[in-house]
Structure 1
Amino acid sequence: MALLSCRPVGRYCLHGHLSPRLCIRNAVPLGTSAKEEMERFWSKNAGSNRPLSPHITIYSWSLPMAMSIGHRGTGVALSAGVSLFGLSALLLPGNFESHLELVKSLSLGPVLIHSAKFALAFPLMYHTWNGIRHLMWDLGKGLKIPQLYQSGVAVLLLSVLSSVGLAAM
């Protein structure tokens, strides 16, 4: 009830302090239009001879950059693969043994089978070894540029070797 009685007093104060005359009188006109500002911006940039897109000229591909993109890509691929495998286990008729027998009946050959096993194992191994590398970075170790490249090569070698080992099983 007390708030309702304060409402007219508040309105009176607001109208008294924020009259349209007061707001218009203190408004400052803009010095230039938006079009003039854009023309000034582009003429200044054209005169500086800088590239419009720094990504093309400044950021060249490096091993840590490519490995970061690869880490994210393998994470997405592994998540999608596990989700699709789980959905297929729920929706497809039969069980795992029947699907395994179907693959064996195709007579694909050992080269194709080992290549497929390597293709399935590599993203998992790469993501795992690179995740361990990231955990070392979280501990503050290996953050210097030469160490970044050394650990990157080590992750790639370990990923290939462990993937070959898993594919040979």
Structure 2
Amino acid sequence: MRNFEQHSRELDEAGYRLEWVNGLAVVEASPVMRHQQIIFRIESSIRPDTLGDAPCQCIHAADVNIRFPDGSRKRPDIAIWCREPDEQDTEVTLLPEAVVEIISKDYAAKDLVIGVPFYQRIGIPDIIVLDPETNTVRHWRNGGNETSYPSPVTLDLQCGCTITV
């Protein structure tokens, strides 16, 4: 694939998002207003767990390009790190401690069939998927089995952050 960043910029300008997962190009329409409002609500809830002693800063960002060690590139709806990534103007290479995906209409397979197994294989400790149509939150921790909750639910992440989804 020719320059990923160039393709990504061109598709962004046309209203699409590009990801490159396990050698497969995945293109989807840019998120709609409802999707963005959900992301903002969830991001606003992210905070350090006051009961824990983990030194996690709970740094989070929405829709940021992340380049993974295998060369894959994804843009999770929300990524959470314990420290500020070094990269501020390019793709982030620091692995997130947690990712949150909000299912968009017609794109459930991208998040559930491609995204969750990828994040598990890479070793992301907490993977959270919200289906706003059913108000169901699905949570995978350390590659383990899925646990489902009705939304809203407050989750304590392994890194020491708390999030309400």
TM-score per shorter chain, which class? under 0.3
Instruction: Choose 1 or 2 for highest CA Rg.
Output: 1
- TM norm structure 1: 0.20
Between Structure 1 and Structure 2, which shows a larger proportion of strand residues? 2
